[in-house]
């Protein structure tokens, strides 16, 4: 798995509908719609540090080990427990409101978040 690196959002599909469904306020959705989210990932074996840098330079860093429950936090400060597992070369996490699958495909970081029938697909390029 070649997740390590610094990534910048290129495209997002399903952003507005997904954000509304999981309860993100309209003003925050508006700010983030065209923002080029930066994702910084370090990996040491099964241990990851996954940082996302949001508008106004707000940052959230979650550290996890594959297959072990850990504490995570959202940009809004909500804390929850999650376990990140692998399915082949994909990272899979079941969060309280949705499932996220992350993979490297064609040299891009693809993050697919699914909540019911609503899907957010974010594609990022390596910096």
pLDDT string in tens for the chain (127-residue length): 689 999 999 999 999 999 888 888 888 788 778 888 899 999 999 999 999 997 667 789 999 999 999 999 876 677 889 999 999 999 999 887 889 999 999 999 999 999 999 999 999 999 9
User: Would you say 91 and 3 are in contact if contact means Cβ atoms under 8 Å apart?
Assistant: yes
pTM of the model: 0.88
CA-angle at 92, arms to 45 and 15, nearest 5°: 125
One DSSP character per residue, the chain reads ----EEEEEEEEESHHHHHHHTT--HHHHHHHTT---EEEEEEETTEEEEEEE-GGG-EEEEEEETTSEEEEE-TT--EEEEEEEEETTEEEEE-SS-EEEEEEETTEEEEEEEETTEEEEEEEEE-
What is the residue range of 36's domain?
A: 5-126
Query: How many angstroms separate the CA atoms of 34 and 29, rounded?
Result: 9
Q: Identify the CATH number of the domain in which residue 27 sits.
A: 2.40.128.20
**Overall domain count for the chain:** 1
């Amino acid at each position: 798995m070649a997740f390590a690196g610094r990534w910048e959002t290129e495209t997002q599909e399903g952003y507005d509908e997904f954000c509304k469904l999981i309860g993100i306020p309209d003003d925050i959705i508006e700010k983030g719609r065209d923002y080029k989210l930066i994702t910084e990932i370090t990996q040491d074996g099964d241990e990851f540090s996954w940082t996302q840098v949001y508008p106004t330079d707000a940052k959230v860093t979650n550290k996890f080990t594959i297959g072990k429950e850990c504490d995570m936090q959202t940009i809004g400060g909500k804390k929850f427990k999650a376990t990140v597992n692998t399915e082949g070369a994909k990272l899979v996490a079941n969060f309280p409101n949705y499932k996220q699958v992350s993979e490297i495909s064609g040299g891009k970081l693809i993050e697919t978040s699914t909540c019911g029938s609503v899907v957010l697909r974010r594609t990022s390029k390596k910096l």
